Amino acid sequence: MGEYGVHPTRYGEVSDGHLYSMFRESAYARLSESEKLDLLQEVVNRDAMEKGEIGAPEVRFAELPVNESGNAADGVIQVNRDMAVSGVQTFEYKGQTVQHRMDDYNCQTLNTILHENMHCFQDQIIDGTIQIDDLQLTSEYQANSYTNSIVFQNGKGQWGSQYMTGETANGYYMYYFQATERDAYRTAEEKTASILQELSGKYGTEASFEAYTKSMAATGYQAMEQKAILEFQNPNFEKDLNQVLQNQYFGTNVEVDKNTEETVKAEMIATYQNLYEQLGESTAANEDAKMSFDPRPVSLEEYNQAVQNPAAADEEVYEEAEETAEKGPEADTQSQQESGEVSVSDEDIADGMDSDMEI
């Protein structure tokens, strides 16, 4: 279970109202780094208890790559230190690395930890640590885990990833509305809004709250949903997207919008190929690696075996996988680390949806 467990903080005895009041701009700015870390940990402790998680994830500050506000894996939530402590956001936009002073970093930090803890909750559902009554939701999460399946498109079978990272022209929509990200974005946004509304009612509004609210109006869940529906001309876009993933994972054939289906399949293949290329570059940098790279898609398990035994990486491996897929898709259970919440400035993320910005 990694770092799931009990993580005491100095704020363990304070009320929820007092705890969340520390996210007011005037209060949050005065907290030291260790106090901020304890505050985030305590919020996660309480959120995990509300959700019914077994233990709470451990929260850590980390030097994360550009565009990444946080990530979660193996019971550990990492939060971008520059963002959460200093209110500085670094991101890539149109080939340039840009630093942005955040007017609402207190609110965005709250949103980030709630988002990442939702992923931890989902992980415990997927691995069977906890059970929920919603079987449909459980199926959606299982079909959106870090596994692979054979995707058939235009009569050709290729490996595809059940979790999509946004590699194609419409990849950001694929990433954002897949079940795990959909619910992480939506629930974190809703809970953050509820907390800020309560604080505003008690203490009055403030500039950081207004900046955050403006940001969500432009790039929040409802805004993104309307953009996706218009882009795909499909009012059931989100439902169909996740049904495609379930069809792939469980071997079902529930009918969906064909355009949405083809776009999801293309993104699954592109995500897998991108991962394969990353693994290839990593291995090529290792002087001890002796694998010659084959551009055809293979499973992660086959790839790892091939690194150790290059003779195993022949055409028969893929042909056998294709034959198996024709009988019924079976997911490859090789796990990957979760990461990568997209984080850019309020205006630029909206512009980036229509630009060449790499998500």
Q: Do residues 185 and 176 touch, judged by C-beta distance below 8 A?
A: yes
- Examine the pLDDT at 184 and tell me if it is beyond 80: yes
Q: Do residues 75 and 2 touch, judged by C-beta distance below 8 A?
A: yes
Residue 282 confidence class, pLDDT cut points 50, 70, 90 = low
How far does CA 90 lie from the centroid of its chain? 18
Q: State which of 266, 282, 298 marks the end of a domain.
A: 282
Both 27 and 84 in one domain: the answer is yes
- Examine the pLDDT at 100 and tell me if it is beyond 70: yes
Both 124 and 142 in one domain: the answer is no
pLDDT on residue 281? 59
Domain membership of residue 169 (yes or no) is: yes
- Examine the pLDDT at 15 and tell me if it is beyond 90: yes
The pLDDT tens digits of the residues spanning 33-90 come to 999 999 999 999 999 999 999 999 999 999 998 889 999 999 999 999 999 999 998 8
Q: In this structure, what token pair is assigned to residue 296?
A: 């055809």
pLDDT on residue 92? 81
Close Cβ partners of 136 (under 8 Å, ≥ 6 residues apart): none
Q: State which of 229, 254, 282 marks the end of a domain.
A: 282
Instruction: Report the range of poorest mean pLDDT among 68-72, 153-157, 257-261, 291-295.
Output: 291-295
Both 43 and 146 in one domain: the answer is no
Close Cβ partners of 20 (under 8 Å, ≥ 6 residues apart): 43, 195, 198, 199
Residue 1 confidence class, pLDDT cut points 50, 70, 90 = very low
Q: Counting Cβ atoms within 10 Å, is residue 210 exposed (0-12), middle (13-18) or buried (19+)?
A: middle
Question: Is residue 87 left, alpha or beta, with left meaning phi > 0 and alpha meaning psi from -120 to 50?
Answer: left
- Examine the pLDDT at 304 and tell me if it is beyond 50: no
C-alpha 165/C-alpha 146 separation (Å) is 11
Length of the chain: 359
Both 139 and 275 in one domain: the answer is yes
Q: Do residues 167 and 272 touch, judged by C-beta distance below 8 A?
A: no
% of the chain exceeding 70 in pLDDT: 77
Domain membership of residue 154 (yes or no) is: yes
**Structural domain range at position 210:** 134-282
- Examine the pLDDT at 102 and tell me if it is beyond 80: yes
Both 31 and 102 in one domain: the answer is yes
- Examine the pLDDT at 151 and tell me if it is beyond 70: yes
Both 170 and 276 in one domain: the answer is yes
The pLDDT tens digits of the residues spanning 323-334 come to 443 433 333 333
C-alpha 80/C-alpha 63 separation (Å) is 6
Helix axes 179-203, 207-219, angle to 10 degrees: 150
Both 223 and 239 in one domain: the answer is yes
Summary mean pLDDT of the chain: 82
Domain membership of residue 318 (yes or no) is: no
Both 165 and 101 in one domain: the answer is no
Total number of domains constituting the chain: 2
Both 2 and 114 in one domain: the answer is yes
- Examine the pLDDT at 218 and tell me if it is beyond 90: yes
Domain membership of residue 210 (yes or no) is: yes
C-alpha 69/C-alpha 81 separation (Å) is 9
How far does CA 258 lie from the centroid of its chain? 25
Q: State which of 114, 131, 148 marks the end of a domain.
A: 131
Both 123 and 171 in one domain: the answer is no
Backbone φ and ψ for 5, nearest 5 degrees, come out as 165, -155
Average pLDDT over residues 133-141: 97
Both 221 and 100 in one domain: the answer is no
% of the chain exceeding 90 in pLDDT: 70
The pLDDT tens digits of the residues spanning 233-245 come to 999 999 999 999 9
pLDDT on residue 355? 32
Q: Do residues 45 and 114 touch, judged by C-beta distance below 8 A?
A: no
Close Cβ partners of 261 (under 8 Å, ≥ 6 residues apart): 240, 244
Both 121 and 154 in one domain: the answer is no
Domain membership of residue 327 (yes or no) is: no
C-alpha 29/C-alpha 239 separation (Å) is 41
Considering Cα of 299, then 127, then 240, then 275, what sign does the dihedral take?
Answer: negative
Domain membership of residue 331 (yes or no) is: no
Domain membership of residue 310 (yes or no) is: no
Instruction: Report the range of poorest mean pLDDT among 7-11, 26-30, 127-131, 287-291.
Output: 287-291
Domain membership of residue 158 (yes or no) is: yes
